[in-house]
């Protein structure tokens, strides 16, 4: 078996999980493509345009972040900044504590996964419930999401039914409709009793300070209808210059993520509710989180910060489909994670994830579906190069030693001899090739018959004929 | 240095070495209007088709709405007090209408009737604003959510609706019933919000 961690994980993967991930990620790929190109025949140029808008925003982040901050303050929101995970968790805790909040609802936010907010708040005694159905199940299981849009793609209905039974949410019943209704009943009490609701944001418009949050379930909306305090955790890369850009991004996001022209609930939040409104938070806090983003911005892979978390790249990735999201050992799986995780880990921990950029066949499918046209294969190559330059041990797992090849290639005589000797390959069975990575490679593959040296032979004969035309 | 100063300083350090910075491209929103969704010129007919495609229930009369509520056995619900005048007597007969939502017993409301600010033909979306929807819960807690929207308040496409966002602190676009496909990719409607989303232009 391979020494690469991701291959080992895939090898050990339970068959049920593999089938769920494979089926779940492949399903709908064609539909998403049809919806995107059926609705927007010029989708490829729109993807490029969206990419340029995000690239521009990132390269002027100082200006846009400051503008968004000003707008939000004008609109009555409070704005905070968190350098790293510890600071972000601490600030959320302080906001909750100062307001006497114990019960909290939270809708899906990937940045909260990065900073491990749930663990932090649970340790401090807060009662936090995830309201997105998939995230709720992940929370009940003490598990982690394995896809940015479909958090429980790795679970089947029977596992979920067992979880509900274990957690007192009814007798075993694996009917998806029953599972959903039970979550609905449980969650509405929580929405109404929670004093605060935590969300992320898909986009923030620097022009208006508007946060844009999309969900299909309506959980974020319900959470914010019930609570009096809203805390939004937002990565600093979530900005777009203006509301018009939002219109393009929304048109691409739903179609790329789930094949919908728009997600069911698309919320635009400028600030706290008006005094005369009956429901909605009286207080709104936005925490802009860095957690490794500025270091990524300084790298030659800053394009990855354009990502709008649609999940399309993981759905089409042959490595993700076979190995599952958890194989990437980090919050972000798939091609996105193979680039982003080593970068967000920062220079101090880059080496830990230096094998991830190798988890790709460089087929380019991820780039073809990315709504912001991130050149993921190029970024993977840059990171492979960096891992080699920094001598990160994980980058060398299973990498064949090229020194003997280099020696042969440098000596014409040795090269000629080796070409002839390699004819043995046609006689010796592949399974007899004993050594390391090559042996592991050939154990699952066949080779075409060896024809090495034919060209030289042909060229030599031709030369002879030319010299002696008869 | 506090976190804010640290972040801005790090952004500065990251961007200063860039010799060139990407320019903001020209945006022409006509490029992302979907012609195949607007075959009737951005009319209510387009809205109906696109709204029904996301399992929305499009109705054109209060009689049809009465039938829907009767079939669903829904007799008790919420109606925005500002809309009571718009509801014909014959429609109200036999219904118990509350003008507020009691958070202690939200399950008693089988339906909620609220005013939509507008609708979007291209996407089959209804637009709810805090200014027009006094209690957000009315559009979320009941199984059936009914939006009444003025016939003249129809945007052709998404960009027109974005341009109209204005000053309201909270606007939500609703495109069909609340739904999930988290369990094995199987579509289930009515997760947290309404399972039936009705739109009736008035
Ligand atoms: S990298 Fe592109 S395709 Fe992948 S999740 Fe991000 S936006 Fe989507």
Give the ranges where A60-132 is alpha helix by DSSP (H). Answer: 61-74, 85-98, 110-115, 117-123
Count of the separate structural domains present in chain A: 2
- The candidate with the shortest Cα–Cα distance to B138, out of A279, A213, A264, A281, is A279
Is position A212 within any domain? Answer: yes
Written as six digits, the tokens of A468 are 């002696």
Q: Given this model, what pLDDT does residue A125 score?
A: 96
Q: Are A281 and A415 contained in the same domain?
A: no
Is position B56 within any domain? Answer: yes
Using one digit for the tens of pLDDT, what is the confidence trace for B124-160? 999 999 888 779 999 999 999 999 999 999 999 999 9
Is position A384 within any domain? Answer: no
Mark which of A259, A291, A323 sits at the end of a domain. Answer: A291
Lowest mean pLDDT across A16-25, A441-450, B28-37, B92-101: A441-450
Instruction: Round the average pLDDT of chain A to a whole number and report it.
Output: 93
Written as six digits, the tokens of A464 are 């002879």
A243 to A157, A374, A376, B139: CA distances (angstroms): 40, 22, 27, 25
* Residue A215 predicted with pLDDT over 80: yes
Distance CA B198, CA B195 (A): 10
* Residue A470 predicted with pLDDT over 70: no
Is position A80 within any domain? Answer: yes
Mean pLDDT across A251-255: 96
If phi over 0 gives left and psi between -120 and 50 gives alpha, with beta otherwise, what is residue A235? beta
Distance CA A303, CA A380 (A): 12
Mean pLDDT across A341-369: 95
Taking the centre of ligand 1 as the mean of its atom positions, its distance from the CA of residue A302, in whole angstroms, is: 14
- The answer to whether B86 touches B110, Cβ cutoff 8 Å, is no
CB pairs under 8 A between A and B: 255
**CATH code of the domain covering residue A184:** 3.40.50.10420
Of chain A, the percentage scoring pLDDT greater than 70 comes to: 97
Mean pLDDT across A1-17: 85
Is position B20 within any domain? Answer: no
Q: Are A413 and A280 contained in the same domain?
A: no
Written as six digits, the tokens of A317 are 């990735």
- The answer to whether B84 touches B51, Cβ cutoff 8 Å, is no
Using one digit for the tens of pLDDT, what is the confidence trace for A391-423? 998 888 877 778 888 888 899 888 888 888 888
Mark which of A237, A264, A291 sits at the end of a domain. Answer: A291
Is position B120 within any domain? Answer: yes
Taking the centre of ligand 1 as the mean of its atom positions, its distance from the CA of residue B143, in whole angstroms, is: 34
Confidence of residue A452 (pLDDT cuts 50, 70, 90): confident
Mean pLDDT across B31-48: 95
Closest residue in chain B to residue A85, using alpha carbons only: B3
Using one digit for the tens of pLDDT, what is the confidence trace for A16-29? 899 999 989 988 88
Q: Which of B32, B54, B112 to mutate to test the interface with A (most CBs of A within 10 A)?
A: B32
Q: Whose CA is nearest to atom 3 of ligand 1?
A: A370
Q: Given this model, what pLDDT does residue A2 score?
A: 65
Q: Given this model, what pLDDT does residue A336 score?
A: 98
Provide CB contacts within 8 A for A369, sequence distance 6+.
Answer: A32, A33, A256, A312, A313, A315, A316
CA distance A117 to chain B (A): 18
Mean pLDDT across B65-81: 96
- Contact check, Cβ <8 Å, B183/A176: yes
What residue ranges line ligand 1, CB within 6 angstroms?
A 148, 307-313, 336, 369-372, 374
Of chain A, the percentage scoring pLDDT greater than 90 comes to: 78
Count of the separate structural domains present in chain B: 1
A11 to A7, A229, A323, A338, A359: CA distances (angstroms): 6, 46, 8, 19, 14
* Residue B70 predicted with pLDDT over 80: yes
Is position A259 within any domain? Answer: yes
CB atoms within 10 A of CB A422: 13
Is position A388 within any domain? Answer: no
Q: Which of A75, A207, A221 to mutate to test the interface with B (most CBs of B within 10 A)?
A: A221
Taking the centre of ligand 1 as the mean of its atom positions, its distance from the CA of residue A309, in whole angstroms, is: 5
**Does residue B14 sit at the A interface (CB-CB below 8 Å)?**
yes
CA dihedral defined by B53, B59, B60, B65, rounded to 10 degrees?
Answer: 180
Distance CA A193, CA A271 (A): 22
Confidence of residue A435 (pLDDT cuts 50, 70, 90): low
Interface subset of B 55-94, CB within 8 angstroms of A: none
CB atoms within 10 A of CB A46: 19
Q: Given this model, what pLDDT does residue A203 score?
A: 98
Q: Quick check: pTM over 0.90?
A: yes
Q: Whose CA is nearest to atom 7 of ligand 1?
A: A307
Q: Are A248 and A100 contained in the same domain?
A: yes
Instruction: Round the average pLDDT of chain B to a whole number and report it.
Output: 95
Using one digit for the tens of pLDDT, what is the confidence trace for A313-325? 999 999 999 999 9
Is position B102 within any domain? Answer: yes
| Residue A22: burial class (beta carbons within 10 Å; 0-12, 13-18, 19+) | middle
Task: Report helix, strand or coil for A398.
Answer: coil
Distance CA A19, CA A31 (A): 20
Domain ranges, residue A148: 42-291
Confidence of residue A436 (pLDDT cuts 50, 70, 90): low
Q: Whose CA is nearest to atom 8 of ligand 1?
A: A310
Q: Are A280 and A422 contained in the same domain?
A: no
Q: Tell me the backbone φ, ψ of residue A37, rounded to 5 degrees.
A: -80, -25
Tell me the CB-side half-sphere exposure of residue A120, using CA atoms within 13 A. 17
Is position A246 within any domain? Answer: yes
Taking the centre of ligand 1 as the mean of its atom positions, its distance from the CA of residue A25, in whole angstroms, is: 14
Q: Tell me the backbone φ, ψ of residue B68, rounded to 5 degrees.
A: -60, -45
* Residue A55 predicted with pLDDT over 60: yes
> Shortest CB distance from B183 goes to which of A46, A80, A160?
A160
Is position A402 within any domain? Answer: no
Interface subset of B 115-174, CB within 8 angstroms of A: 122-125, 130-131, 134-137, 140-141, 158-159, 162-163, 165, 167-174
**CATH code of the domain covering residue B54:** 3.40.50.10420
Q: Are A77 and A210 contained in the same domain?
A: yes
Domain ranges, residue B173: 39-201
* Residue A343 predicted with pLDDT over 80: yes
* Residue A255 predicted with pLDDT over 60: yes
Q: Given this model, what pLDDT does residue B131 score?
A: 83
Q: Given this model, what pLDDT does residue A28 score?
A: 85
- The answer to whether A268 touches A310, Cβ cutoff 8 Å, is no
Distance CA A335, CA A373 (A): 13
Q: Are A419 and A270 contained in the same domain?
A: no
Taking the centre of ligand 1 as the mean of its atom positions, its distance from the CA of residue A64, in whole angstroms, is: 22
- Contact check, Cβ <8 Å, A262/B175: yes
Q: Given this model, what pLDDT does residue A405 score?
A: 85
Distance CA A66, CA A36 (A): 34
């Amino acid at each position: 078996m391979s020494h690469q961690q991701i291959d080992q994980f895939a090898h050990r993967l339970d068959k049920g999980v593999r089938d769920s991930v494979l089926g779940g990620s492949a399903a709908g790929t064609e539909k998403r493509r049809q919806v995107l190109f059926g609705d927007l025949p010029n989708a490829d140029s729109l993807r490029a345009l969206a990419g340029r808008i995000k690239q521009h925003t990132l390269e002027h982040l100082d200006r846009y972040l400051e503008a968004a901050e000003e707008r939000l303050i004008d609109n009555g929101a409070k704005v905070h900044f968190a350098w790293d995970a510890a600071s972000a968790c601490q600030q959320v805790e302080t906001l909750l504590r100062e307001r006497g909040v114990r019960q909290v609802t939270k809708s899906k936010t990937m940045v909260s996964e990065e900073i491990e907010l749930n663990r932090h708040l649970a340790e401090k005694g807060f009662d936090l419930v995830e309201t997105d159905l998939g995230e709720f199940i992940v929370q009940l299981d003490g598990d982690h999401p394995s896809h940015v849009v479909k958090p429980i793609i790795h679970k089947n209905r029977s596992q979920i039914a067992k979880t509900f039974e274990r957690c007192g949410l009814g007798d075993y019943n694996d009917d998806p409709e029953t599972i959903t209704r039970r979550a609905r009943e449980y969650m509405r009490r929580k929405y109404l009793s929670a004093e605060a609701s935590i969300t992320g944001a898909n986009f923030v418009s620097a022009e208006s300070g508007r946060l844009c949050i999309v969900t299909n379930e309506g959980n974020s909306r319900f959470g914010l209808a019930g609570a009096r305090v809203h805390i939004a955790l937002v990565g600093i890369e979530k900005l777009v210059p203006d509301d018009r850009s939002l219109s393009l991004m929304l048109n691409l996001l739903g179609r790329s993520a789930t094949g919908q022209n728009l997600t069911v609930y698309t919320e635009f939040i400028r600030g706290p509710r008006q005094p005369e409104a009956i429901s909605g938070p009286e207080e709104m806090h936005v925490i802009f989180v860095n957690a490794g983003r500025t270091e990524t911005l300084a790298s030659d892979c800053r394009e990855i910060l354009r990502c709008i978390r649609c999940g399309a790249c993981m759905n089409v990735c042959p490595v993700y489909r076979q190995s599952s999201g958890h194989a990437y050992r980090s919050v972000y799986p798939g091609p996105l994670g193979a680039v982003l995780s080593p970068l967000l880990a920062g220079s101090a921990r880059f080496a830990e994830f230096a094998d991830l950029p190798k988890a790709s066949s460089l087929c380019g499918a991820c780039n073809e579906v990315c709504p912001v046209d991130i050149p993921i294969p190029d970024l993977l190559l840059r990171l492979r190069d960096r891992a080699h330059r920094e001598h990160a041990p994980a980058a060398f797992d299973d990498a064949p030693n090229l020194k003997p090849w280099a020696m042969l290639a440098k000596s014409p005589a040795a090269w000629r001899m080796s070409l002839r000797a390699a004819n043995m390959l046609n006689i010796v069975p592949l399974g007899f090739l004993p050594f390391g990575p090559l042996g592991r490679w050939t154990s699952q593959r066949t080779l075409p018959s060896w024809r090495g040296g034919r060209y030289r032979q042909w060229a030599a004969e031709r030369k002879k004929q030319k010299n002696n035309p008869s | 240095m506090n976190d804010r100063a640290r972040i801005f300083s790090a952004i500065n350090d990251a961007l200063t070495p860039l010799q060139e910075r990407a320019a903001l491209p020209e945006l022409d929103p006509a490029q992302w209007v979907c012609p195949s969704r607007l075959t009737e010129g951005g009319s209510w007919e387009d809205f109906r088709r696109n709204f029904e495609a996301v399992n929305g229930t499009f109705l054109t009369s209060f009689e049809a709405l009465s039938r829907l509520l009767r079939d669903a056995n829904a007799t008790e619900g919420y109606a925005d007090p500002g809309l009571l005048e718009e509801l014909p007597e014959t429609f109200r007969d036999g219904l118990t209408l509350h003008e507020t939502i009691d958070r202690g017993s939200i399950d008693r409301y089988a339906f909620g009737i609220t005013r939509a600010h507008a609708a979007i033909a291209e996407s089959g979306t209804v637009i709810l604003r805090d200014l027009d929807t006094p209690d957000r819960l009315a559009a979320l807690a009941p199984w059936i959510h009914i939006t009444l929207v003025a016939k003249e308040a129809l945007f052709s496409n998404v960009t027109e609706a974005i341009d109209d966002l204005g000053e309201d602190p909270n606007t939500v676009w609703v495109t069909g019933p609340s739904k999930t496909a988290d369990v094995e990719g199987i579509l289930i409607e009515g997760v947290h919000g309404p399972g039936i989303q009705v739109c009736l232009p008035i």
